[in-house]
Structure 1
Amino acid sequence: MYTASWRDVVRRDFFGPHPSPRDRAYRFIIRVTLVVFRLFRFQFDVRGQEHVPASGGAVIASNHVSYLDFTFLGLGASPQFRMVRFMAKASVFGHWFAGPCMRAMQHIPVDRKAGAAAFDVAVRALKDGEVVGVFPEATISSSFELKDLKAGAARMAVQAEVPLIPAAVWGGQRIATKGHKVVLRRGVAITVLLGEPIVPGPGEKPQAVLRRLREALEELVEQAQSSYPQQPEGPDDRWWLPARAGGTAPTPEQAHELDVHDVAGRKVGVAKPHPVARLKALATRRRR
């Protein structure tokens, strides 16, 4: 387990021997973030950092369970001294506080009604040797299960001819996620797994790469969930577990209904799984 230390906050070599001047703001924001990690003593289990290339372009594609996932994924790239440019919805860039920070870190705004421009910017960044972060589910998964994936990450890797690195994050939903209040509790465990790069073959189509990505993500998410070191503190603390694991999160089908109504601007309640159904799901999971 890694817990950020005050030494990490002030280490001069934390970003490598020759950090780029253009990333001064990014480095400052990371140091501030490390202060927050230290104060709340988040416990990080980060594995697979070696899969992030030390140079050249790459796409990191991850599942999405919390608003803080991008900050946690950044820890996976930091040992290689890489700054990840994340693709995020354009509305975040309009926020009075988050917007200036996102622009200073040179993240990439995505207008969902006109995504081609953001795609082109991302491909250009990849060809220039940048690491681009993508959440191919497009939004946070309310069920905490892997949703259907958009093909953008695979298309970028194919077009820019760069590796696609699958990743899984777990635990951040306990702090800040969609539909729940932000709870800055101390000592929360955060798991970050980076898998082996998926290298598109000559002439390989994006849909074939996307299938490979989904298989890798499913395996990594399962590994992150099963190896997570902390358990719910009681019956009322099972909301952050998937229904199939005995949690009270919406099922994937219920989460889909939530997403549909949310996009339409309508709020809708979702019935919680019956306790007996949750116990059966948990028993089935343990027998696997």
Structure 2
Amino acid sequence: MSRRRIGFWYRLAAVIAKPPLVVLFKRDWQGLEHIPADGGFITAVNHNSYLDPLSYAHFQYNTGRVPRFLAKAALFRGSFVGAILRGTGQIPVYRESTDALDAFRAAVDAIERGECVAFYPEGTLTRDPEMWPMAGKTGAARVALLTKAPVIPVAQWGANLAMPPYAKEKRFRLFPRKTLKVLAGPPVDLSRFEDREATPELLREATEVIMAAITELLSEVRGEPVPTATYDHRKARAEQRRKAAEEGSK
């Protein structure tokens, strides 16, 4: 499989985004050697700030292998941002609809054309109180097992310090100057899941392996031990509702 050229729209996006990133932030990039030089592949990245897609895209753009993100369909409608997303070949995701599967089909097609598709397996910004990756959704594992493409885990840290994900005041915290840290690791070994029926249990197990690889890398980036348990937002919400119901019944 050949590698797709970067193209006009991605270069235009880089011309717009790179100068402020270079001026406003320091960079600590590691693991560039793990980004494949040719052929289709998947990157699985943790998500802790609205700014981190730019940080991660900057990192990978400099390897010559640009990522195709899965992004909310609403972002593609009209506007200059929508034009950039469409022009750079990003993949719209129609959540909670029958069109949701189209994103996975588009991801498979892109990988088979020799492109990189970037997944945020958590599906949204982490809700973990300590900013560790949450339990992931199974989309990346599903596409990986369909295509047998390598899955490159990526951890990033620093964008969340400049733009915290759930701060009450949506403003940048630029000073002191933050360092955008990105670390890519070797491909995740999913061989034991291949050529088997993609049951929900198998996909969840493969997803846990991917998330564990991302968390290990983030542990290295942060210089902190891996948490003893993975935060599961759905379970946490269910527990909150249970406690609220108990309090209400008193």
Q: Report the TM-score, using the length of structure 2 for normalisation.
A: 0.78
Equivalent of 1:31 in 15, 35, 49: 15
**Identical-residue share of aligned pairs (%):** 29
Q: 46-55 vs 218-227, which deviates more?
A: 218-227
- Distance 1:154-1:189 versus aligned 2 partners, 3 A rule: same
* Counterpart pick for 2:33 among 39, 50, 59: 50
Is contact 1:48-1:76 (8 Å) kept?
no
Kindly indicate whether residue 98 of structure 2 is the aligned counterpart of residue 136 of structure 1: no
Counterpart for residue 146 of structure 2: 159
1:85 aligns with 2:68: yes
Structure 1 residues 143-189: Cα deviation after superposition (integer angstroms, max 9, x where no partner) = 31211100100111110110001111111112224322121515211
Give SS of 2:38's match.
Answer: coil
Match among 195, 218, 242 for residue 203 of structure 1: 195
Consecutive unaligned residues in structure 2, runs of 5 or more: 197-201, 242-250
- Pairing partner for 2:165 from 178, 184, 209: 178
Mapped pair 1:223 → 2:223: no
Q: Is 2:85 the counterpart of 1:102?
A: yes
Contact 1:59–1:163 under 8 Å retained in 2: yes
Given the superposition, is the C-alpha separation of residues 198 and 64 from structure 1 closer, same or farther in structure 2, using an over 3 Å criterion? same
Q: Size of the alignment, in residue pairs?
A: 219
Instruction: Give SS of 1:122's match.
Output: helix
Alignment equivalent of 1:124, drawn from 100, 103, 109: 109
Aligned counterpart, 1:69: 52
User: Which secondary structure state, in structure 1, belongs to the residue aligned with residue 42 of structure 2?
Assistant: strand
Question: Would the aligned equivalents of 2:50 and 2:163 in 1 still touch at CA under 8 Å?
Answer: yes
- Maintained 8 Å contact 1:49/1:79: no
**Structure 1 residues without counterparts, runs of 5 or longer:** 1-17, 228-243, 245-250, 262-288
Q: Which has the higher contact order (CA 8 A, sep 6+)?
A: 2
Stretch of structure 1 that moved more, 46-55 or 92-101: 92-101
